[in-house]
Amino acid sequence: MSRTKIIDALKSAPGERITVKGWVRAFRSNRFIALNDGSCLNNLQVVVDFENFDEKILKDVTVGAAISVEGNLVESQGKGQAVEVIADTIEILGTANPDEVSKTILQPKRHSLELLREQAHLRFRTQTFSAVFRIRHAMAFAIHKYFNDNGFFYLHSPIITGSDAEGAGEMFRVTNFDLDNIPRTEEGHIDVKEDFFGKETNLTVSGQLEAELGATALGQVYTFGPTFRAENSNTSRHLAEFWMIEPEIAFADLDDDMDLGEDFLKYVIRYALENCMEDLQFLHDREVKLDSQKPQAERNELPLIDRMKFVLENDFERITYTRAIEILRNSKPYKKNKFKFPVEWGVDLASEHERFLVEKHFKKPVILYNYPADIKAFYMRNNEPDEEGRKTVAAMDVLFPGIGEIIGGSQREERFDVLKQKCADFNIPEDHVWWYLDTRRFGTVPHAGFGLGFERLIMFVTGMTNIRDVIPFPRTPKNAEF
Amino acid sequence: MSRTKIIDALKSAPGERITVKGWVRAFRSNRFIALNDGSCLNNLQVVVDFENFDEKILKDVTVGAAISVEGNLVESQGKGQAVEVIADTIEILGTANPDEVSKTILQPKRHSLELLREQAHLRFRTQTFSAVFRIRHAMAFAIHKYFNDNGFFYLHSPIITGSDAEGAGEMFRVTNFDLDNIPRTEEGHIDVKEDFFGKETNLTVSGQLEAELGATALGQVYTFGPTFRAENSNTSRHLAEFWMIEPEIAFADLDDDMDLGEDFLKYVIRYALENCMEDLQFLHDREVKLDSQKPQAERNELPLIDRMKFVLENDFERITYTRAIEILRNSKPYKKNKFKFPVEWGVDLASEHERFLVEKHFKKPVILYNYPADIKAFYMRNNEPDEEGRKTVAAMDVLFPGIGEIIGGSQREERFDVLKQKCADFNIPEDHVWWYLDTRRFGTVPHAGFGLGFERLIMFVTGMTNIRDVIPFPRTPKNAEF
């Protein structure tokens, strides 16, 4: 008899005869098995009349064991579920020794997130992490669906790259050398020509430049792939390996880019609300409970689902960097010397400033744009100097409550001569980016794009506060287990 | 006035006033501009009355230039299109110097695939490659849609890995060391503890083991990410960096795995036929033309679209490896000594054998299963020895016409003791795979999965015969440009 998934069994009408398979979450009073197969958050209750079963079998129905159950689906007598299964036969698929289970996170009690990370291979079996990773799936699908429905083409930008033009931080080296025996040139230098790719290669920090090549031919493309930073940051917001989404659109300016970013974020958040409510409600309740144990100042102003709806219901506030500086300098915390970092035109805003703007001043998502040229990347489009002669670029950041920057984007410098000059100013050798410059020589067009850190988005829609808890197997300094 | 994409303009009713933007593919008789914006294969014809335009503007309407056109959409007088635009205004967005263009693949004539690869940053602008990469997008989306619709969860397996259990070939090393100054232990060994992750790390060759961790908790998962091989193979079928799809299903055996593989392949091929016909027809016609210039023996037996329909219309033939050996040994080419490689029980089949089975004997896709244990990986499930005492594992390969192996999969060894013994037999230290073994200790379940090389699939649905032509920026020995 073919297996029914628990997500389907829970929606089925009483009366059906079914076979379900899954892992035992609990076995109460030698009578009620809570069975979960990962298809959804909720367990199916299996009712056992112990007189009908061999004691030897029931002895193996322990937390963590895998079983197959055949029986009738009936209306549930208990609270908390509409249906339950009256077991006729139980087959043990895989046992789980209770003494061994008690040393793992499978043991049904609260475990620290640290311990759960150490047992990342088992944490998919917990309620919290199964919810997080089902939502992560849904968000990935929503992203592909959004772009597909809107005529974007998915472009796989290269992971191993010989280009280091983006310069977004330290890079990991990729090599085929035997490190005990690296070939040298006659002058004693490392002979990179002898390496696999015939030159120095690294793991990509961004697929943007390649996405521009696609967009200036196919019109609208996006990347969705892993990116890497070899930064020694042991924080709750940094990973050495993370996933990025980078759409790039031709015939577009910064306004179009901001429109895209806002529409895109609202779409995927709405998708979560429409498709993941059971898991969201669980994480929402979890957060509310955790918050209730915290001092007032550390609690979320709004709980998870309300934060998500809040983003949907508000137009994002769009203000220039220059205006943001004015607002900050006129703010109470500035006047009372409460900001730790300086606020003046030309500096990069710190997290405290961004949070003030989003959470206190505007009380909604904010898009800052037209940043000082000196603090932004070479490929961003130069604006006309402002009335005071200050140089800005057509860059934009989308700031979210609790998260800070969730999107960073810009219109790209499409003017060949200006871009050549910017390469020179940023010390980027033209022969490293000849192919990038070429797109400006052959029918260049205004174009723009942005980058979204996928894990930042997942943090926002799950309420998890450590980025290591929203990716299956986090890579961080001194940690590449599993 | 907002831009209309050419794919939409071509479907619009005559009479509308529109603005279109794109790149000039041709400008005939100083009157007809073929304009393309990448949204689809076909160009929009823009009709220019040169008397209405400044000569200076028309001079810049050259192949490769980007322009914006405003005008009325009218019924076309010419053949080959239903509608065309009568241009009122033309704006030059980006010029393209004809002398420079003539040195590139933008020049409208046939270029070798080698030259197109050298200018991979521009080949998206050609008909062939824009078609290939639009189809590549559609196939990626079809894959996500198939799994999402069937209740699988997308799992991002790690790219940087400290595990080398899969052993599927040579791996690239990932390091943060300064290669000129590698830290050493007192004994003079490389001090891997000092490297970024505190141990030796490599680029993944497969996400399967991690997918098993997901499947034995969430039930059904799939990976879709980049994988790497540091093999010095300069062939038309190998890349150093390529994308793999690896579904993994719990509560499943080899039959379920074969069912999934067949259903999945038919779904994505049907998706291409239903969603990409314009691009497919172009590649189909291209192939027919190229084939007509080849000797009979080198031509495809069926042209592209017919090959795809052929896969849909036939049940895949499922035969054991043992039966395949019998068929091969009774075949004409074997008896006439036409096979280059030996055919006897226990050897891996060569491409010539696979092609004989698929293209000559069965004339349809074939699934071979139950392979000799000695030629397969440690994690595959042991079968009972056959009547002659030979050891096989529950592995399966799906073989396609023209492509050979497109899917390789297996039921996994879920029995803890057997798997432990297999680790020992394959010299895999248990402390490298403790987390993998753990899933067999805590409620182990029968499970199975497979791997699909994404580029192999794209070769099949585009008819491209070199794998470097179906990935945007191929990575191969001595080549990591762009």
* H or E, element range at B160: strand B160-161
pLDDT band at A354 (very low <50, low <70, confident <90, very high): very high
Give A405-453 pLDDT, tens digit per residue.
Answer: 999 999 999 999 999 999 999 999 998 899 999 999 999 999 999 999 9
Q: Which residues of A touch B440 (CB under 8 A)?
A: 94
From A22, A148, A445, residue closest to B94, measured CB to CB = A445
Q: At a CB cut-off of 8 Å and minimum separation 6, what does A358 contact?
A: A364, A365, A366, A399, A400, A401, A404
Q: In whole angstroms, what is the distance from residue B160 CA to residue A203 CA?
A: 10
Q: Which residues of B touch A438 (CB under 8 A)?
A: 121-122
Rg (chain B; Cα; Å)? 27
Q: What angle in degrees, to the nearest 10, is found between the helix axes of B254-275 and B277-292?
A: 90
| Domain boundary, last residue among A85, A102, A119 | A102
SS3 label, residue A27 = strand
pLDDT by residue for chain B (482 residues), tens only, comes to 789 999 999 999 999 999 999 999 999 999 999 999 999 999 999 999 989 999 999 999 999 999 999 999 999 988 888 999 999 999 999 999 999 999 999 998 999 999 999 999 999 999 999 999 999 999 999 999 999 999 999 999 999 998 766 555 689 999 999 999 999 999 999 999 999 999 999 999 999 999 999 999 999 999 999 999 999 989 999 999 999 999 999 999 999 999 999 999 999 999 999 999 999 999 999 999 999 999 998 899 899 999 999 999 999 999 999 999 999 999 999 999 999 999 999 999 999 999 999 999 999 999 999 999 999 999 999 999 988 999 999 999 999 988 889 999 999 999 999 999 999 999 999 988 999 999 999 999 999 999 999 999 999 999 999 999 999 999 999 999 99
Cβ-based contacts under 8 A for chains A and B: 322
Is the CB of B179 less than 8 angstroms away from the CB of A177? yes
**B46 to A256, B25, B92, B282: CA distances (angstroms):** 26, 11, 14, 22
Query: Does residue A127 sit at the B interface (CB-CB below 8 Å)?
Result: no
Characterize the bridge pairing of strands B83-94 and B317-320: unpaired
Is the CB of B228 less than 8 angstroms away from the CB of A137? no
Query: Does residue A402 sit at the B interface (CB-CB below 8 Å)?
Result: no
Is the CB of A97 less than 8 angstroms away from the CB of B441? yes
Is the CB of B445 less than 8 angstroms away from the CB of A93? yes
* First-to-final CA distance of chain B: 36
Amino acid occupying residue A127: Q
Structure-block tokens of residue B253: 């055996």
Name the closest residue on chain B to residue A251, using Cα atoms: B21
From B38, B124, B179, residue closest to A182, measured CB to CB = B179
Does residue A251 come out as left (phi exceeding 0), alpha (psi in the -120 to 50 range) or beta?
A: left
Q: Which residues of B touch A38 (CB under 8 A)?
A: 217-220, 250
Is the CB of B153 less than 8 angstroms away from the CB of A133? yes
Structure-block tokens of residue B435: 């987390």
Name the closest residue on chain B to residue A233, using Cα atoms: B196
Q: In whole angstroms, what is the distance from residue B245 CA to residue B332 CA?
A: 37
CB atoms within 10 A of CB A391: 13
Name the closest residue on chain B to residue A7, using Cα atoms: B151
A195 within some domain: no
From A7, A159, A477, residue closest to B196, measured CB to CB = A477
Q: Which residues of B touch A439 (CB under 8 A)?
A: 121
Q: At a CB cut-off of 8 Å and minimum separation 6, what does B11 contact?
A: none
Structure-block tokens of residue A29: 């009073």
Same domain, B299 and B423: yes
- What local confidence, expressed as pLDDT, does residue A299 receive? 92
Q: At a CB cut-off of 8 Å and minimum separation 6, what does A17 contact?
A: A1, A70, A71, A72, A73
| Domain boundary, last residue among B58, B87, B102 | B102
**B482 to A208, A435, B117: CA distances (angstroms):** 12, 7, 11
Q: In whole angstroms, what is the distance from residue A226 CA to residue B383 CA?
A: 38
Closest to B165 in 3D by CA, of B370, B389, B461, B412? B412
Query: Does residue A217 sit at the B interface (CB-CB below 8 Å)?
Result: yes
Same domain, A42 and A137: no
Q: Counting runs of H as helices and runs of E as strands, what totals does chain A give?
A: 15, 16
Q: At a CB cut-off of 8 Å and minimum separation 6, what does A42 contact?
A: A6, A10, A36, A81, A278
**Which B residues in the span 46-75 are in contact with A, Cβ-Cβ below 8 Å?**
64-66, 68
Q: In whole angstroms, what is the distance from residue B244 CA to residue B226 CA?
A: 6
Query: Does residue A162 sit at the B interface (CB-CB below 8 Å)?
Result: yes
B421 within some domain: yes
Q: Which residues of A touch B438 (CB under 8 A)?
A: 121-122
**Which B residues in the span 289-328 are in contact with A, Cβ-Cβ below 8 Å?**
none
Query: Does residue B418 sit at the A interface (CB-CB below 8 Å)?
Result: no
Structure-block tokens of residue B130: 């824009």
A53 within some domain: yes
Query: Does residue A37 sit at the B interface (CB-CB below 8 Å)?
Result: yes
SS3 label, residue A231 = coil
Query: Does residue B108 sit at the A interface (CB-CB below 8 Å)?
Result: no
Domain limits for position B51: 6-102
Structure-derived torsion over alpha carbons of residues A174, A179, A183, A187, reported in degrees to the nearest 10: 100
B270 within some domain: yes
| Domain boundary, last residue among B87, B102, B117 | B102
From B97, B124, B439, residue closest to A121, measured CB to CB = B439
Is the CB of B96 less than 8 angstroms away from the CB of A442? yes
Is the CB of A210 less than 8 angstroms away from the CB of B482? yes
Query: Does residue A23 sit at the B interface (CB-CB below 8 Å)?
Result: yes
Q: In whole angstroms, what is the distance from residue B348 CA to residue B327 CA?
A: 15
Query: Does residue B156 sit at the A interface (CB-CB below 8 Å)?
Result: yes
Same domain, A82 and A132: no
Query: Does residue A275 sit at the B interface (CB-CB below 8 Å)?
Result: no
Degrees, nearest 5: CA angle A352-A357-A360: 95
B34 within some domain: yes
Is the CB of A241 less than 8 angstroms away from the CB of B213? no
Residue B219 has phi, psi (to 5 degrees) of 95, -60
Same domain, B149 and B29: no
Q: Which residues of A touch B219 (CB under 8 A)?
A: 5, 22, 37-39
Same domain, A142 and A16: no
Is the CB of B124 less than 8 angstroms away from the CB of A445? no
Same domain, A69 and A131: no
Q: At a CB cut-off of 8 Å and minimum separation 6, what does B265 contact?
A: B311, B365, B398, B406, B407, B457
* H or E, element range at A127: helix A127-149
Distance from CA of B1 to the nearest CA of A (A): 13
SS3 label, residue A150 = coil
Domain count, chain A: 2
Query: Does residue A160 sit at the B interface (CB-CB below 8 Å)?
Result: yes
Q: What is the dihedral sign for C-alpha A290, A453, B134, B40?
A: positive
Residue B270 has phi, psi (to 5 degrees) of -65, -40
Give A261-279 pLDDT, tens digit per residue.
Answer: 999 999 999 999 999 999 9
Characterize the bridge pairing of strands B201-203 and B366-372: unpaired
Same domain, B254 and B144: yes
Contact B438, A121 (CB under 8 A): yes
pLDDT band at A164 (very low <50, low <70, confident <90, very high): low
Q: What angle in degrees, to the nearest 10, is found between the helix axes of A127-149 and A454-462?
A: 120
Give A79-94 pLDDT, tens digit per residue.
Answer: 888 999 999 999 999 9
Contact A120, B439 (CB under 8 A): no
pTM metric for this prediction: 0.97
In the block, residue with structure tokens 């179906």: B470
* H or E, element range at B286: helix B277-292
Query: Does residue B176 sit at the A interface (CB-CB below 8 Å)?
Result: yes
Query: Does residue A107 sit at the B interface (CB-CB below 8 Å)?
Result: no
Q: Which residues of A touch B197 (CB under 8 A)?
A: 240, 475, 477-480
Give A2-53 pLDDT, tens digit per residue.
Answer: 899 999 999 999 999 999 999 999 999 999 999 999 999 999 999 999 899 9
Q: In whole angstroms, what is the distance from residue A46 CA to residue B111 CA?
A: 67
| CATH number reported for the structural domain that contains residue A421 in this entry | 3.30.930.10
Structure-block tokens of residue B205: 């060759």
* H or E, element range at A286: helix A277-292
Same domain, B237 and B90: no
ipTM: 0.97
B391 within some domain: yes
Q: Is A266 exposed, middle or buried (0-12, 13-18, 19+ CB in 10 A)?
A: middle
Q: Which residues of B touch A44 (CB under 8 A)?
A: none
Query: Does residue B26 sit at the A interface (CB-CB below 8 Å)?
Result: no
Same domain, A88 and A131: no
pLDDT band at A168 (very low <50, low <70, confident <90, very high): low
Q: Testing the interface with A: which of B174, B194, B201, B208 to mutate, by most A Cβ within 10 A?
A: B174
Same domain, A219 and A95: no
Same domain, A92 and A132: no
| CATH number reported for the structural domain that contains residue A97 in this entry | 2.40.50.140
B117 within some domain: no
Query: Does residue A122 sit at the B interface (CB-CB below 8 Å)?
Result: yes
- DSSP output for B166-207: S--S---EEE-S-TTS--B-TTSSB-GGGSTTSS-EEE-S-S
Q: At a CB cut-off of 8 Å and minimum separation 6, what does B309 contact?
A: B273
CB atoms within 10 A of CB B386: 13
Structure-block tokens of residue B365: 């896709």
Query: Does residue B213 sit at the A interface (CB-CB below 8 Å)?
Result: yes
DSSP 8-state assignment for residue B305: H
Residue A39 has phi, psi (to 5 degrees) of -70, -25
Q: Which residues of B touch A68 (CB under 8 A)?
A: 251
Query: Does residue B341 sit at the A interface (CB-CB below 8 Å)?
Result: no
Same domain, A289 and A333: yes
From A68, A134, A243, residue closest to B153, measured CB to CB = A134
